[in-house]
Amino acid sequence: MTDVATEEVVEGAAEHGAEHGAGLAFHPLDQFKITRLFGEGPIEWYTPTNATLWMALAVVAIVVIFVFGSKGRALIPSRLQSIGEMAYGFVYKMVEDVAGHDGAKFFPLIMTLFVFILSANMLGLIPGSFTPTSHIAVTAILGFGFFIFVTLLGFAKNGAHFLGLFWMSDAPLILRPIIAVIEVISYFVRPVSHSIRLAGNIMAGHAVMKVFAAFAPMILISAIGVVVTPVSVLAITAIYALEVLVAFIQAYVFTILACVYLKDALHPGH
Amino acid sequence: MATETTASEVTHGAAEAAEAAGMPQLDFSTFPNQIFWLLVTLVVIYFVLSRVALPRIGSVLAERKGTITNDLAAAEELKQKAVGAEKAYNDALVSARAEAAKIVAAAKADIQKDLDKALAKADAEIAAKASESEKRIAEIRAGAMDAVTEVAKDTAKELVAALGGKADARAVTAAVTAALKG
């Protein structure tokens, strides 16, 4: 990464001459660019891109952990099998605790969301990688897709009773229409916050790391780098540790909110 | 702020100026691509999980739970057996103790009987020997008394004769007897 940054510094300095004295290259958002994997040309809907690659790697990681890991069906699990079993138990318990016993039917769906987001986030922490979950297009499809799914499910399971979700029968009668309006608005805001929360967290963390990374080669340019470079390296390390936590927590938050929305669809009564 | 200006300066004039100025996330031209590949990915993950991975892991977990339950039941059973065995052992120990005590008591009684018999026999023997000894002592004493009387009479006669008297045998005997009785 440092090599690339220095190259860019050189290029930038060549282009802009003396005015660009410091010569540091800040491209914190370049890591989010969608690029073709092969050749040149426009990005069509079917073009294999870096997003395709890292989603495919997420699939590979999931297959390795959950399919090859559990291949032995060992009574005393191997390490890989333990990871799979722990993730299974973790998500299954979450679905059952939050969405209730009949929510367990949708366990594979919730598990798909969790493992996809978690593995995409974690793979995204590999230096030089691309993080699909940092893109609003991806998280919006996840968030809105799940929103449409639970809304349809709510009407299919409960019919018109699903609207009881918005009608607080234990509130004073005068307040009920007002509360209903607020509830409807908050219901439709759900997928927005659901998807922006994930993309925003992942993007912000990665961008901050990249900003600190841009300061790291300062020692090659000026004397103040003796201070700046170690500080930025330490900062990258600290933020990286935080990002590992965020990668898990955001996957967890997305999943548990999905469970809550599922619960509302299955049991709309308050 | 510095970040944005630098980034835009560096890439100013480049072909992708439009997207570089903003976030790549808001470049809508890449949305169909991302959405398509995301849907492919999700469908693949869903089928891998729901068809292969989750049933398998679920069955492994259920099997393990069953095994653990069985093992616990077996352990409980073995524990009951162990408790029973311990009880049997203790019972055997108690009865063995009682038996031993009985045997000890019987042996003691036997020994006491033998001892009593032997003591009685010894006592009888001792008593017999003692009475015999007493008899002999009495005999010896009587014999000694006779001898003393004889010697005294003879000595008295000799003394009388030596002193020049004519000893009346009868008188001497009477005198000695009287003296001895003295």
CB–CB contact A49 B37 (8 Å): yes
One DSSP character per residue, A178-221 reads HHHHHHHHHHHHHHHHHHHHHHHHHHHHHHHHHHHHHHTTHHHH
Q: Inter-chain contact B42–A116, Cβ cutoff 8 Å? A: yes
Q: Which two tokens stand for residue A219?
A: 């020692």
CA distance readout (Å), A65 to A18, A155, B48: 53, 36, 11
Q: Which domain holds residue A240?
A: 2-16+49-266
* Model pLDDT for residues B84-140, shown as the tens digit of each residue: 999 999 999 999 999 999 999 999 999 999 999 999 999 999 999 999 999 999 999
Q: Distance between CA A196 and CA A188 in Å, rounded?
A: 14
User: Are A265 and A153 in contact, with CB atoms under 8 Å apart?
Assistant: yes
**Nearest residue of B to residue A33 by CA position?**
B24
Closest-CA residue to A200 (of A210, A190, A208)? A208
Q: Is some CB atom of chain B closer than 8 A to the CB atom of A130? A: no
Element spanning A72, H or E: none
Give me Rg for the CA atoms of chain A.
23
User: Which of A51, A75, A109 lies at the smallest CB-CB distance from B63?
Assistant: A75
* Exposure b/e, A38-75, CB count within 10 A at least 16 = b: eeeeebeeebebbbbbbbebbbebbbebbbebbeeeee
The total of structural domains in chain A comes to 1
* Count of positions (residues) in chain B: 182
> pLDDT at position B182, please?
65
Q: What values do phi and psi take at A110, rounded to 5?
A: -65, -40
- Tell me if A30 sits within 8 A of B11, measured CB to CB: no
For residue A21, how far is the Cα from the chain centroid? 37
A108 — contact with chain B (CB < 8 Å)? Answer: yes
A49 bridge partner residues: A36
B positions 1-20 inside 8 Å of A (CB)? 2-3, 6-7, 9-10, 19
What tens-digit pLDDT sequence spans chain A (270 residues)?
444 444 444 444 444 433 344 567 778 888 899 999 998 888 888 999 999 999 999 999 999 999 999 988 888 899 999 999 999 999 999 999 999 999 999 999 999 999 999 999 999 999 989 999 999 999 999 999 999 999 999 999 998 889 888 888 888 888 889 999 999 999 999 999 999 999 999 999 999 999 999 888 888 888 888 899 999 999 999 999 999 999 999 999 999 999 999 999 999 875
Nearest residue in B to A52, CA atom: B37
User: Is B7–A27 a contact, with Cβ atoms under 8 angstroms apart?
Assistant: yes
* Number of residues that this document lists for chain A: 270
Minimum distance, in Å, between the CA of residue A220 and any CA atom of chain B: 19
Q: Token pair 């949305």 is at which residue?
A: B31
**Does residue A228 sit in helix, strand or coil?**
helix
Q: Which of A50, A70, A76, A196 is the best substitution to test chain B (most B C-beta atoms within 10 A)?
A: A70
CA–CA distances in Å: residue B8 to residues A12, A32, A166: 11, 16, 47
How far does Cα B180 stand from its chain's mean position? Answer: 81
CA distance B74 to chain A (A): 18
Structure tokens that stand for A34 in this block: 């969608």
Residues 27-46 of A with CB under 8 A from B: 27-30, 32-34, 42-46
Q: Which of residues 162-221 of A touch B (CB under 8 A)?
A: 199, 203, 211
CA distance A217 to A8: 11
Task: Give A-chain residues touching B61 at CB under 8 angstroms.
Answer: 85, 88-89
Main-chain phi, psi angles of A49, to 5 degrees: -120, 180
Q: Which of residues 26-65 of B touch A (CB under 8 A)?
A: 26-27, 29-42, 44-46, 48-50, 52-54, 56-61, 63-64
Please report, for chain B, the start and end positions of each structural domain, with discontinuous segments joined by +.
18-181
Instruction: Check CB contact under 8 Å for B6 and A26.
Output: yes
Computed from CA positions of residues A74, A79, A85, A88, in that sequence, does the dihedral angle turn out positive or negative? negative
Tokens 């470079």 belong to A229
DSSP conformation letters of chain B: -HHHHHHHHHHTTSTTHHHHHS-GGG-GGGHHHHHHHHHHHHHHHHHIIIIIIHHHHHHHHHHHHHHHHHHHHHHHHHHHHHHHHHHHHHHHHHHHHHHHHHHHHHHHHHHHHHHHHHHHHHHHHHHHHHHHHHHHHHHHHHHHHHHHHHHHHHHHHHHHHHTT----HHHHHHHHHHHHH-
Locate A67 and state its tokens: 């399919």
| B32 touches A49 (CB < 8 A) | no
Q: For position A270, what pLDDT does the model report? A: 59
Distance from C-alpha of A157 to C-alpha of A233, rounded to nearest angstrom: 54
In this structure, are residues A183 and A163 in contact, taking their beta carbons and an 8 Å threshold?
no
Question: Could you report the per-residue pLDDT of B19-55, keeping only the tens digit for each?
Answer: 445 788 888 889 999 999 999 999 999 999 999 999 9
Mutate to test the interface with A, among B23, B38, B63 (most CBs of A within 10 A): B38
User: Contact, A50 vs A30, CB < 8 A?
Assistant: no
CB contact (8 A) between residue A136 and residue B3: no
Please classify residue B163 by burial: count the beta carbons closer than 10 Å to its beta carbon, then call 0-12 exposed, 13-18 middle and 19+ buried: exposed
pLDDT at B11: 41
